[in-house]
Amino acid sequence: MKKLVVATGNPGKLQEMQEYLIDLPWQLELKPAAIDIEETGTTFIANARLKASEVAKAVGKWTIADDSGLAVDALDGAPGIYSARYGETDQERIDRLLRELGDTSNRQAKFVCAVAIANPDGEIVLETEGICPGEILTSPRGNGGFGYDPIFYVPSQQQTFAEMSALTKGKVSHRGVAFAQLMPELKELSRQT
């Protein structure tokens, strides 16, 4: 089984990626805690590339990284790459976003997930970006998920991320879309390495 380092210290993210890659011969492992990559990119894909490349060079192994967040049209794409830093807690982030949107009628938003894979030399060999369009509700709905999930409504499902089953969210979410796009290339890559 081939090793694929996940450029995160978050075991939950590793578990989530493992579920998307279940049919591939890759064994995922967390990056060493001592490696800390500063996200200096100005886009999701730039940060994913940076994390994948730098961790791959540091450990000398194939590495996968993602960067994701919420982009709200009426806020000129904010919180964007700062989604996780928009407040100290999920509730603070939601409160700030709703406060900044106020009573604006334009509630269009999208979740974006950029994924990059680097070879052991740090060269980016695969990348993609998955997008899930939706809108921001005026108040939270649902008890599942995390982050902005209770206020992110997906019209095609008529539910927020927080109301969806894990299976449904896994298919329609930005991360699900990104990994679905990557799967054919990842299968090919696993045959070549």
Q: Which residues are catalytic?
A: 67
Rounded Cα–Cα distance for residues 46 and 182 (Å)? 17
Between strands 108-118 and 124-136, the pairing is antiparallel
In the numeric block, which tokens belong to residue 171? 């298919």
Rounded Cα–Cα distance for residues 38 and 46 (Å)? 12
Contact 6, 30 (CB under 8 A): yes
R_g (Cα) of the chain, nearest Å: 17
